[in-house]
Amino acid sequence: MSFADRVVAWQKVRGRNDLPWQNTRDPYRVWLSEIMLQQTQVVTVKAYFARFLEHFADVQSLAGGSLDEVLGLWSGLGYYSRARNMHQCAKVVVQEHGGRFPQDAQTLATLPGIGRSTASAISSLCFGERVAILDANVKRVVTRTQGFDADLAVSSHEKLLWELATGLLPAIGTTARDMARYTQGMMDLGATVCVPKKPRCLECPVSTDCVAHRNQDPDRYPVRSRTVKRSSQRIFLLLAQTPDGGVWLSRRPAPGVWAGLYCPPLFDSDEAMCSALTAQQRMRLVPSEAFKHVLTHKDLHLHPRHLEASEDDDFGDQGRWVSAAEWPGLGLPAPVRKLLEANAL
């Protein structure tokens, strides 16, 4: 049996076959799940996926929705550029492709927010195209089985890995069903068996031709030398609220932290915040405890300041008063939502 045949056979009996975005060839659903699953755990995605579909059942309704609605539904999933790109992508599919997703990976990869691996996942799962995927989980399977120890921070090495992954595909002429099963099998292997720490090699269908298993050094793979430098930033948040639960919010500009989301006025320091307020307002400021919020490449040290205000107050920043009924539905950064919920009437 070839490598691919073993992955296909294993997927049938041991793979994941009951996730909410499986057992469909609808590219809208597969695309939605693929984007949500980037950097987010399956268990978290399940709830968001269901809620998103309830609101936007197809690509036409998503394209016709507002960015605010999309960001509101995405709120809490993080990495909001995914949501912005998704909304943009839906519009392009409707306006330039007649509301139907292209069926080949090459064309799919020209759409906003769809990279090569996501494009291949959609085209192989939905249309049976014979193309390789290479997301983080599959990279682990391929580098380990092939003993590929070149540094993936170097783009020519990454290109080589794509060639190796393509060489492992099922034979030309494989049915669309088996091609989809192979793609799903590679994802499942990386997610459930060939996990980063302590891979379950004894349960693995490709252990007999796995170099890392033979050498007992799976932890060596994949090799990536460049580590992203973390930075940190202090942010002072002015949480101005009216007695009936209204909040002063404005949409954050792009680029920058929380671009496109709704936020209270943000400042670099207490001094900067105070100089934007009247003497009367300053006297009503109530500080609460600072806390850390971790983003991918950055630690945010957040310093909330509460202010009981009236609707006559204006805090600039191109903001407005948003009622207690409206703000929960907006796209808000997770820590801002928590602060507002803690202080809600």
Dist. CA 306–CA 328, nearest whole Å: 18
Phi-psi region of 26 (alpha: psi -120 to 50; beta: other; left: phi over 0): beta
Q: Are 122 and 34 in contact (CB under 8 A)?
A: yes
Which amino acid, one-letter code, is at 266? L
| CB 195, min distance to ligand SF4, A | 8
Determine whether 129 is an active site residue: no
Side chain identity, residue 138: V
Nearer Cβ to ligand SF4, position 75 or 145?
145
Beta bridge partners of 299: 232, 294
Give the interface with ligand SF4 as residue ranges (CB under 6 A). 141, 144-145, 193-194, 199-201, 204, 206-207, 210, 212-213, 218
On the CB side of 61, CA atoms within 13 Å amount to 9
Per annotation, catalytic residue among 34, 158, 163, 326: 34
- Nearer of residues 73 and 193 to ligand SF4, judged by Cβ: 193
Q: What is the enclosing helix (H) or strand (E) of 309?
A: none
Q: Min. distance of Cβ 30 from ligand SF4 in angstroms?
A: 25
Least gap, CB of 207 to ligand SF4 (angstroms): 4
Cis peptide bond upstream of 253, omega within 30 = no
Shortest Cβ 192–ligand SF4 spacing (Å): 10
Nearer to ligand SF4, 129 or 188 (CB): 188
Residue 336, burial from CB neighbour count under 10 angstroms (0-12, 13-18, 19+): buried
Residue among 133 and 212 whose Cβ is closer to ligand SF4: 212
Tell me the catalytic residues: 34
